[in-house]
Chain A
Amino acid sequence: MKTFLARFDWLMLAVMLALVSAGTVAIWSAGSARAETVFHGMWVNNLVTAAVGLTLYFAIAAVDYRRTLDFLALPGYVVAIACLVAVLVFGTSVYGGRRWLWFFQPSEISKLFVISLVAWLFGRRRIPLLNIQVAGFRAFLLLAVAVGIPVALILAEPDLGTALTLLPAVAVMAFAAGVWRRGLAAIAALGGIAALAVLGAVYEAERPGVPAARREQIMRFVPLKPHQVRRVKVFLFPETDVTGAGYNLRQAKISIGSGGFSGKGIGRGEMNHLKYLPQSISMNDFIFCVWAEETGFVGSAVLLALFAALLGCGCRAALVSTDGRGRLLALGVSTLVFAHVYVNIAMSIGIVPITGLPLPFISSGRTFLVTVMCGLGLIQSVTIHREEQQT
């Protein structure tokens, strides 16, 4: 207990609480703008969820993460895979994706379990149970399989956003763990080239003045679903279809931009309250727009500072940890949070194509909030249990 209090990262907790407060305010504002009364009380739900998440946070932080990993990494991973399979079979469809199983989204939880598994497997020089060198090619194959299965299942939902945030987290962990770096670099390069190729192909096909026949010819080679093609198109040509496919992005940018330096005041965002900002996503993927409109650049900067502090806590945990597993865990969770923050805000302002991704602590997603807080609990545990307990 003494170590727990002495080594507890209070800054991280303070930042979390601040973020939960900001999120609650944003959810209240976005919810009150909606006609359906059920959304008016969403902020209370968020507080309740945050309370649950905080409880789990303290519980996870209190236990040595090594034990947690030993006990839970493998079984958790298996359960997560099972849930991902189950969601494809029994899941509830919302907005064209099968993501819900009973009361939670397995894809959100699976992120944490995949990260835990990778940390557990690759945190030491030799991989447990299999006794393989981490730096070797076989370890790389193992990583590919261990990560490939859940990613494939998540992509099948489809939930491109979750897959896209999970991959960088895993890549950072593999990089830090020293898994076959040349291979990693090659894959990263290939991924980058593939992404650029897709962008280039869509640009070539959707450029104004391209005949329909040629467009079809090109699009046959682009492995994207129609709605994804639309999003890429909006990203490439944001001003061409502002009433159709580009409407969301246009309204998102107007909301954020019109917030100005100091914002329009909490609860007074016009784009939000007059329903210009698409209602179906203003509480989730586009909640940053609500926050940025009402609090302005000052609020945006405060939010970014809070996230920076949170990520700083994660990096600090990774640095102070003497253990590879702890280091990987801290880096993995931090990267996951960073990927969400970066992609979510960047898509809201049109820097990256629109991807359905929640903003940690701010969006009103219960599963994700709990997942993130559990992940941060693991980081806290890494901070507290930085040295192996002499037992």
Chain B
Amino acid sequence: MANRAESSAGSLPCWVVAAVFAAGIVHLAVSLRALQVTSAADYNYASARQSVRRMQTAGLRGRILDRHGEVMAGNRPSLSIVCLPSGFEKRSWSNTVSAIERGIKEVGEAIGRPSPLSRMAISRHVSQSLALPLYVWRDIGERELAVFSEREREFAGFTVIKTAERVYPGGSLASHVLGYVGRDRGEIQSGDEKFSYFAPEMRGRSGLEAYYDGFLRGVPGEMKLLVDARGFAIREWTVLDATPGPDIATTIDLRIQKEVERQLQGERGACVVMDPRNGEVLALASAPGFELNAFVPTLSTETYARYIDDPAKPLLNRATGGAYAPGSTFKPVTALAALGAGHTADEEYICTGAYACGGMTLRCMSRWGHGPLDMCHALMKSCNPFFCNLGMTTGTNAFCRAARVFGLGSKTGLDLGVDRAGVVPDGDWKMSTYGEKWYPGDLAQMSIGQGMLLATPLQMAMVAGAIGTGSLVTPHLRLDAAPESRPLPFPESHLRIVRKGMRMVVAGDGNLRGTGWRGGEGVPVSVSGKTGTAEVGAGSSRRKNAWFIAYAPSDAPTAAVALVVENGESGGLTAAPKVCEILKAMFAEDGT
């Protein structure tokens, strides 16, 4: 009791304090449970969100093959020297950038190549994609690789990465068909906005590379990168392997394509060779072409400027994107329209060398006139007054209907990005485009393929083939595409007349030569065709585009060709011999 008396403290405060302690500990336990058990998933997500970066990876791009399996666009391994930023971590970002800059300079001196990256570019990489390797020298050569590998241990933080680059074995061969690729971040798949990075990926920019881009690219994969608080990559692992894109077989026959391009060498022009039975495009060329490998790994600014500034416009695909006045190659269509409107093949017209209509005079090739002609001979001689008269007496509507039956004035549906519709003018069109009335002279001009009428070489090849087979096919470049065709709404008797005329263009009649006689010389099969010499421009810029369209063999066509050469002499002189060479190459060996 003595102790008690001296003590100031009872035991009650101890219990109170103990109760407070217990309450405090329980409070902490309950709060921690809420955090670590109830909301653990939320915090796990928050943790992953800040420390795990998702990267979309690209699969190997599929190849583009010709119809016999020959590679037109493939892949080759490419080695790049990259810098891994985590090896250069410094306290401050600017010191990190400087360290990388010094490292690049050192390696650059060793391999004898200057640093391609500005401090700004390095800085951008550090601030935006620190977790990824920084590509310094892309696509290095063997010598550089040897030097680098020898001294790799000195170059801490640098390594060699193997990627794939596009390669075009043919160089500029079929350049407008294939198109080129650029480097791009990958396609953002829907619902995958959560990707932080996209592996640089090849992306088709034109031609088949662009049209079938999604097909060739395959299915992207996914990689995850673990990054620390500053953003440096600590670890990476693959979640899903990217699936390589499938190869694509085209209808192009490289043998024919090469011959076509040889014929167009040095010219500005275009040529399309197709199979009129199923629409397979066997060759499609536009001249001048361009070097496809110049776009790999990236097109240099100088080369790009050269292509863009070139007045010959090498990047333009004239075969599908160049709209030309078809000139006299259009006359078979005029003939069919007239036959449909009640004209007959035997009607004769006396050509005087000129056709006057509505205050203007259209001249004929034959200065003094062809004299009396029937339809087949008018085709053979390509008589302008004859067809002007025929068109004028047929009428605009029937005429335009016939032209549209051949697909003129609308897109062909070719599986290539560039596909111009051309123009089949009529009264409404002229009014809405130029705000002018439709004059009889317009119809006269159109009857001979001049004036406002425009068509692409591909469309004219379709016209030639359709006349030869009797049905119009949709052209396509993908070999396994299903053929699409629709029969022409002309009676077989009418077609036979036009075919006879077109055969006479090449084969002549007795002693008389047709305008396109050079188109069939030495070709082992019979050729039917039509020449065209379209005058474009006026005054000093007046020039002639030389055309030749053909199909062969005449009785059962397996090939339809259209060829145009800008600034040529005439269809018969300039274009027909080139088509002749192409047909000779095609039918020389096996007759396909």
Interface residues of A (CB under 8 A from B): 122-125, 134-135, 172, 175-178, 253-261, 270-271, 274-276, 292, 296-297, 300-301, 304, 307-308, 311-312, 315, 318-319, 322-324, 327-328, 331, 334-335, 338, 341-342, 345-346, 349, 351, 387-388
Q: List 7 interface pairs A-B (beta carbons < 8 Å), by A numbering.
A: A134-B8, A176-B17, A260-B40, A261-B36, A292-B32, A297-B36, A297-B37
User: B11 on the interface (CB 8 Å rule)?
Assistant: yes
- The residues of A that contact B47 with a CB separation of less than 8 Å are 254-255, 257-258, 270-271, 276
Name the distance in Å between B430's Cβ and chain A's nearest Cβ: 64
Question: Which residue of the partner chain A has the closest CB to B28?
Answer: A345
Chain B residues contacting A271 (CB-CB under 8 Å) are 47, 51
Is B429 interfacial (CB 8 A cutoff)?
Answer: no
Rounded to whole angstroms, the CA-CA distance of A257 and B553 in the bound complex is 80
Q: Is B361 interfacial (CB 8 A cutoff)?
A: no
Task: List residues of chain B with CB within 8 A of the CB of A258.
Answer: 40, 43-44, 46-47
B9 on interface, CB distance cutoff 8 Å:
yes
Say whether B17 contacts A275, CB under 8 Å.
no
A-B CB proximity, top 7 nearest: A257-B43, A324-B7, A176-B13, A297-B36, A258-B47, A260-B40, A274-B228
B13 A331 Cβ-Cβ under 8 A:
yes
Residues of B within 8 A of A274 (CB): 51, 226-229, 234
**A338–B43 alpha-carbon span in the complex (Å):** 28
Q: How many residues of B contact A (CB 8 A)?
A: 44
Chain B residues at the A interface, C-beta cutoff of 8 Å: 3-11, 13-18, 20-22, 24-25, 27-29, 31-33, 35-37, 39-40, 42-44, 46-47, 50-51, 226-230, 234
- Which of the residues A255, A275, A308, A327 comes within 8 Å of B9, measured between beta carbons? A327
Question: Which residue from A276, A327, A334, A388 sits with its C-beta under 8 Å from B50?
Answer: A276
Given A276-B51, A301-B29, does the pair A349, B35 have CB atoms closer than 8 Å? yes
Residue of A253, A255, A308 near B25 (CB, 8 A) is A308
Q: Cβ of A323: which chain B residues have Cβ within 8 Å of it?
A: 3, 6-7
Closest to A335 in B: B17
Give, as a whole number of angstroms, the nearest-CB distance from B29 to chain A: 5
Q: Are B3 and A388 in contact (CB-based, < 8 A)?
A: yes
Within 8 Å CB of A261, what residues of B?
36-37, 40
Q: Which residues of B contact A253 (CB under 8 A)?
A: 35, 43
A338 to B23, CA, bound (A): 11
Interface centre among A254, A328, A334 (most CB of B within 10 A): A254
A301, B28: Cα distance in complex, Å = 9
Complex: how many Å from CA A294 to CA B234?
19
Looking at the assembled complex, report how far the CB atom of A50 sits from the nearest CB atom of chain B, in whole angstroms: 23
Residue of A nearest to B6 (CB): A124
Smallest beta-carbon distance A130→chain B, Å: 15
Known: A257-B42, A327-B9. A346 touches B4 (CB 8 A): no
Return chain B residues, CB-CB under 8 Å to A175: 13, 16
Give chain B residues whose Cβ lies under 8 Å from the Cβ of A177.
8-9
> Do B51 and A123 touch across chains, with their CB atoms under 8 A apart?
no
* Neighbouring A residues of B226 by C-beta, 8 Å: 270, 274
**Inter-chain residue pair count (beta carbon < 8 A):** 155
Minimum CB distance partner of A134 in chain B: B8
Query: Nearest A residue to B228 by beta-carbon distance?
Result: A274
Give chain B nearest CB distance to A37 CB in angstroms: 15
User: In the bound complex, do residue A315 and residue B9 qualify as a contact, i.e. CB atoms below 8 Å apart?
Assistant: no
Q: Closest CB-CB distance, B238 to chain A, in whole Å? A: 19
Contact with B39, one of A172, A178, A257, A328 (Cβ below 8 angstroms) = A257
Is B9 a contact of A346 with CB atoms below 8 Å? no
Q: Are B9 and A324 in contact (CB under 8 A)?
A: yes
A322 to B229 alpha-carbon distance, docked (Å): 55
Cβ B5 vs Cβ A125 within 8 A: yes
Which secondary structure dominates chain B's binding surface?
helix
C-alpha gap A331/B40 in the complex (Å) = 36
- Taking the closest CB of chain B, its distance from the CB of A64, in whole angstroms, is 14
B31 x A125 contact (CB < 8 A): no
Q: Complex: how many Å from CA A19 to CA B10?
A: 31
Q: In the bound complex, what is the Cα–Cα distance between A125 and B3 (angstroms)?
A: 11
Nearest-Cβ distance from residue A15 to partner chain B, whole angstroms: 13
Complex contacts, B50 vs chain A, CB 8 Å: 254, 276
State in angstroms the CA–CA spacing of A388 and B3 once bound together: 8
Please indicate which of the listed interface residues A274, A296, A318, A345 has the most CB atoms of chain B within 10 Å of its own CB: A274
Would you call B32 and A297 a contact (CB within 8 A)?
Answer: yes
How near does chain A come to B96, taking the closest CB pair, in angstroms?
A: 14
Contact B17 A260 (CB under 8 A): no
A253 to chain B, nearest CB (A): 7
Residues of B within 8 A of A254 (CB): 43, 46-47, 50
Complex CA distance for A257 and B3, rounded to whole angstroms: 50
CA distance A179 to B234 in the complex (A): 60
Chain B: CB-nearest residue to A319: B14
Which chain A residues border B5 with CB–CB below 8 Å?
125
B13 CB contacts on chain A under 8 angstroms: 172, 175-176, 331
Bound-complex Cα distance A297 to B18 (A): 24
Structural contact, A296 and B14, CB atoms closer than 8 A? no
Q: Could you tell me if B21 and A327 are in contact, using CB atoms closer than 8 angstroms?
A: no
Contacts of B15 in A (CB 8 A): 319
Q: How far is the CA of A296 from the CA of B33 in the complex (A)?
A: 10
The residue that B35 contacts in the complex, of A257, A311, A331, with Cβ under 8 A, is A257
What is the bound-complex CA distance between A132 and B3, given in angstroms?
A: 19
A69 CB, nearest partner CB in chain B, Å:
14
* Chain A residues in 8 Å Cβ range of B18: 311-312, 315
* B24 nearest in chain A by CB position: A342
Tell me the complex Cα distance, A101–B109, Å. 53
Extra contacts, 10 of them, besides A124-B6, A257-B36, A308-B25 (Cβ < 8 A), are A172-B17, A176-B10, A254-B47, A256-B43, A261-B40, A301-B29, A315-B14, A327-B7, A327-B9, A331-B13
Q: How far is the CA of A123 from the CA of B13 in the complex (A)?
A: 13
Closest beta carbon of chain B to A161's beta carbon, Å:
17
Could you say which residues of chain B place their CB within 8 Å of the CB of A304? 25, 28-29, 32
| Given A307-B25, A328-B9, residue A334 in contact with residue B51 (CB < 8 A) | no
Q: CA–CA, A133 to B10, complex, Å?
A: 16
Give B32 Cβ to nearest chain A Cβ, in Å: 5
Q: Roughly how many angstroms separate A274 CA and B233 CA in the complex, as a whole number?
A: 10
Instruction: Indicate whether A123 sits within 8 Å of B40 (C-beta atoms), given known contacts A254-B46, A334-B17.
Output: no
Q: Shortest beta-carbon distance, B416 to chain A, in Å?
A: 50
Complex: chain B residue closest to A277, CB-CB: B229
B8 and A324 form a contact (CB under 8 A) = yes
| B36–A296 touching, CB < 8 Å | yes
Residue numbers in B under 8 Å from A255 (CB-CB): 47
Whether B32 contacts A349 by the Cβ 8 Å rule is yes
Closest partner residue, chain A, to B18 (CB atom): A315
Roughly how many angstroms separate A334 CA and B21 CA in the complex, as a whole number? 9
Contacts of B42 in A (CB 8 A): 257
Residues of B within 8 A of A328 (CB): 9
Nearest B residue to A388 via CB reads B3
Residue of B7, B22, B40, B228 ringed by the most chain A CB atoms within 10 A? B7
Q: How far is the CA of A253 from the CA of B34 in the complex (A)?
A: 11
Tell me the minimal C-beta distance from A116 to chain B in angstroms.
16
Residues of B within 8 Å of A256, CB to CB, are: 32, 35-36, 43
Give, as a whole number of angstroms, the nearest-CB distance from B55 to chain A: 17
- Report which of A122, A275, A319, A322 forms a contact with B230, defined as CB distance below 8 A: A275
A123, chain B: closest CB distance, angstroms: 7
Q: How far is the CA of A270 from the CA of B46 in the complex (A)?
A: 12
